A and B are shown apart, each in its own frame.
Chain A
């Protein structure tokens, strides 16, 4: 039984240029104790998906579909009902931990305020005591003293630990981590990821890990959803995805990842062209202008997410051709150029 099941989720953001289709027809599910990775380039709708689930986008954003959490559709809830769920059932970790903390409030109080508000602890002092415990748990040295410090007295990595402690404060069952390590140094990134993995195991958390780093996915996630231009284009386990991607975009994304074992010069290939304009989307498959395998059908026909068995799904009609061994070749060499023009 899935803890969160997202079905046909869409989000339209009105802009001056027209309606921006930030997320369209997104489907995925996640169970307790599972870590789902969502990967994709910036602007592919990863963050918007997460914020839509928690109702964090403004009222002007048109949302559609369902996000069923533990039997309730989050999209049908009022702001007050969502407030009860935020922090307590679903918590979030953000990309820029340093600016996620209020500069004029003490760190301990910021960790504790959610607990007090949600009524998970009896008193203010109990909340503060638990905040110190949480700081210890996420590896902040001498937490009693540090709880009285202000955010600017913490390093980036330590701020992220504070943010994680805050997110865990009310004992949520689902943790959405939106690029939690992007803003950090490489060595600190590893520490934070190790912390997240350990917490996930210890607390039996469901974690949605948004990232654009395939390496992070490989190390941390049990399942992965690849997003492109607001759509999920492929879901698989990391192992399956890495060994045999079934969507040309996944394949291209993997080609961008440096691989220390192989001869790099050959493997590292950037994806041709740019992601599409979300206000003015291409017809048919959204990846077709950049796809080396695109056919006439890809350009004209909307592609659904196709279940290909074994818990895998892809949004590519030529997925069977991708399963064939051998180099992927384009049937129409002019398409890529159209995309870049």
Chain B
């Protein structure tokens, strides 16, 4: 199986990055200036509790031994105990993962639905008024910070016209889609400039490709030509751009979750920083790193499946 071999090779390429991620995450607690245990527990902590925490974090061992036991713990799924929740980090993070992933997936789907038609419109009206309006709009939203955009959407669509809820994640699927619409729209508006710009360029490039002219000589009508011979090819560019920007998307979700009070891991990391919950920060950083490399791997696989020219060698 060529695809399996391709997967195996990509996984091997990922190993050094994975090691690096673990090393960086491991360093989080150790780099805290002064006494990490004191930083975490505050000035009023008793000596016993400090000693207990040091022992729990393994701060008394030589550094290489600490790293060894850290790796062993991670391998068994033990990311430590949250200082705030008093529960295993992994457990808390796992509960918070669903809203974040739902939000990202929602935003990606919404972005594709919004950006592809707009990019097509801009490309086919290239240089004319419609094109210029779309591109100017894209540049404008690029200059808007996501949190500000989100808050303004809230003011307009949840306060002035109370169409959408102000906060929360919802229970049923429909309820969730309704709750997450404004956050997803915010991310879409932030992603749109980049997506529309690149898509527009690749549609224009695809439209003038020789294979499109030849397909025209077969007697394909314009709509079919666009769908089968332009869009399909331009879609591969979309996959690449989404893959490349996934880190940016995940990072953006941190602040969007904060704005819309969505109980996801983005919101969790911010509150953990304020609460100096270092084991939690470690766990979330690790999850984010793993998410990024997993999604990148998935992008590569999707791309390889979409483009027959990519050989698995």
Contacts and interface: CB of A to CB of B under 8 A. Distances in A.
B309 A163 contact: no
B213 A94 contact: yes
A88 interface: yes
Nearest to A114: B218
A102 B219 contact: no
Contact of B219 (A101, A104, A105, A170): A170
A118 interface: yes
Contacts of A88: 219
A56 interface: yes
Interface in A129-150: 150
B220 interface: yes
A96 interface: yes
A102 B309 CA distance: 11
Contacts of A169: 218
B214 interface: yes
Contact of A102 (B221, B224, B229, B306): B229
13 contacts: A54-B217, A56-B216, A80-B221, A83-B219, A86-B217, A100-B214, A102-B211, A102-B228, A105-B232, A113-B215, A113-B218, A117-B221, A170-B218
B302 interface: no
A253 to B, nearest CB: 27
A99 B308 contact: no
Given A84-B219, A86-B216, 18 more contacts: A79-B222, A83-B220, A83-B221, A86-B217, A87-B217, A100-B210, A100-B213, A101-B214, A102-B233, A104-B232, A105-B228, A105-B232, A110-B215, A113-B218, A114-B218, A114-B220, A117-B218, A117-B221
Interface of B: 209-211, 213-222, 224, 228-229, 232-233, 236, 306-309
B211 A91 contact: no
Contacts of A103: 211, 233, 307-309
A61 interface: no
A166 interface: yes
A96 B210 contact: yes
**Shortest 5 CB-CB contacts between residues of A and residues of B:** A114-B218, A87-B219, A100-B214, A86-B219, A92-B217
The prevalent SS among residues of B at the interface is helix
B229 A117 contact: no
A271 interface: no
B150 to A, nearest CB: 37
B228 A113 contact: yes
Interface in A73-115: 79-80, 83-88, 91-92, 94, 96, 99-105, 110, 113-114
B193 to A, nearest CB: 27
A319 interface: no
Task: Report the contact-size class of chain A (Cβ under 8 Å from the partner).
Answer: 20 to 34
Contacts of B228: 102, 105, 113
A167 B229 CA distance: 17
A89 B233 CA distance: 29
B309 A91 contact: no
A169 B215 CA distance: 13
Contacts of B215: 102, 110, 113
Contact of A104 (B213, B220, B224, B306): B306
Contacts of B213: 56, 94, 100
Contacts of B209: 99
A299 interface: no
B222 to A, nearest CB: 8
A149 B308 CA distance: 9
Contacts of A167: 217
B308 A152 contact: yes
Nearest to A153: B308
Contacts of A87: 217-219
Contacts of B221: 80, 83, 117
Given A104-B232, A104-B236, A94 B219 contact: no
Nearest to A80: B221
Contacts of B306: 104
A101 B218 contact: no
A152 B224 CA distance: 23
Nearest to A170: B219
Given A100-B214, A102-B229, A163-B214, A117 B219 contact: yes
A94 B212 CA distance: 12
A87 B153 CA distance: 51
